[in-house]
Amino acid sequence: MAEADPQQQSAQLIEFLTPGGPPPPRAKPYVGFDRRELNTILNLYGRKVADGEWRDYAIDFLKDRALFSIYKRASERPLYVIEKNPKLRARQGQYMVTSQDGRVLKRGHELATVLRVLELAVVR
């Protein structure tokens, strides 16, 4: 009885392990802002840009949270970060605003309520 070629054996093994070819890539879950939330944030952002207080922003959709960072100048650290973390929904609220130095300015369940802290904030 003749032995099969080693290359042929490995090809059969690969075919056995992946009968339909490689599995399709999975869509990675991420947290994002919905349209209503973005509308609320961008309305505030637009007013502050018109007043000359803010100039730039960045949006990051991560695996466990979404971030909207607000800048006075694009080359600096963000003045404020608006964060949405759904894991904290049942506890202290999924929305949070932090300042440039990392202090939590406001946290809560309603985005509009949390953003009020930025309405009153004056940039130096």
Give the C-alpha separation, 95 to 85, whole Å.
Answer: 7
H or E segment and range at residue 105: strand 104-108
Residue 6 lies in a domain: no
Residue 15 lies in a domain: no
Residue 40 lies in a domain: yes
Residue 98: give the domain boundaries.
35-120
pTM of the model: 0.73
Q: Is the pLDDT of residue 114 over 80?
A: yes
pLDDT for the residue 2: 55
Token pair in block for residue 28? 């990675």
Give the C-alpha separation, 120 to 115, whole Å.
Answer: 9
Name the band, by pLDDT with cuts 50, 70 and 90, for residue 45: very high
Residue 64 lies in a domain: yes
Strand 95-99 to strand 104-108: parallel, antiparallel, or no bridges (unpaired)?
A: antiparallel
- Domain count along the chain: 1
Q: What is the mean pLDDT of residues 34-50?
A: 93
